[in-house]
Structure formats: C-alpha cells, structure tokens
Amino acid sequence: GAVVSQHPSRVICKSGTSVKIECRSLDFQATTMFWYRQFPKKSLMLMATSNEGSKATYEQGVEKDKFLINHASLTLSTLTVTSAHPEDSSFYICSARLQTSGRAYNEQFFGPGTRLTVL
C-alpha cells in the first residue's frame, strides 16, 4: 500500500513551453501533497505544499506564477512549470501524506520523480 505515481517520468521540451506533471496517490487519500526539486548530487528541496481544495503554500524563493500547483482531488496534485527555461531543468518529486479514515498521518510517501529537460 501507500503508492504514489508520477507522470510523465521524463519530459524534454523547448524553452518557452509549459509542462504539466501529475502526482497521484493510488491506494490512499491525501489532503496534503508536497513538491520537491532535486539537482544532481544534491538533496531534495521543498518547493511547495499542496492542499486539497485550497491554494498551495510556496517556500521562500519559489515563484508561484512560475510553478502552478493544483490539488483538485484527494488523489491528484499537478505541478505546471510555465514558460520553462533551461534553468528549470531538474528532477521533480512529489510526495503524499497518508490519510486513512479521516486521520492524517505524518509519514510521507514519494513518487518516482519526473526528469525535466528544457532545451
């Protein structure tokens, strides 16, 4: 149990285009999902917290107009990188906080990541 999927796993796009990444909790509900970014040989850095039915909370220094987050249901959050540029190239990972029977647990489960390359 507690499986999180991401789609696509890899995307290559031209500079100036927008890219949407989906994060789904497959076998549990998640009122809270998180989006991270990881550069090569580096640790994960939290970008934003995605709450179902409300606006996302962005970390300091993350442009909310650049990285649009929508959490439309208890099993789906999306991250859209708008007008992507080469510096947006990175590994993007989502996580979901387990929730069962109305109770939210603290443990987070991670998706397999999306590797974005902007040419």
Residues at the interface with another protein (CB under 8 A): 2, 32, 34, 38, 42-46, 49, 91, 93, 95, 97, 106-110, 112-113, 115
Distance CA 49, CA 89 (A): 20
Smallest separation (angstroms) from another protein to the CB of 71: 14
CB of 15 or CB of 105, closer to another protein: 105
CB of 43 or CB of 101, closer to another protein: 43
Smallest separation (angstroms) from another protein to the CB of 45: 8
Q: Are strands 114-118 and 90-100 parallel, antiparallel or unpaired?
A: antiparallel
CB of 43 or CB of 54, closer to another protein: 43
Smallest separation (angstroms) from another protein to the CB of 57: 9
CB of 14 or CB of 41, closer to another protein: 41
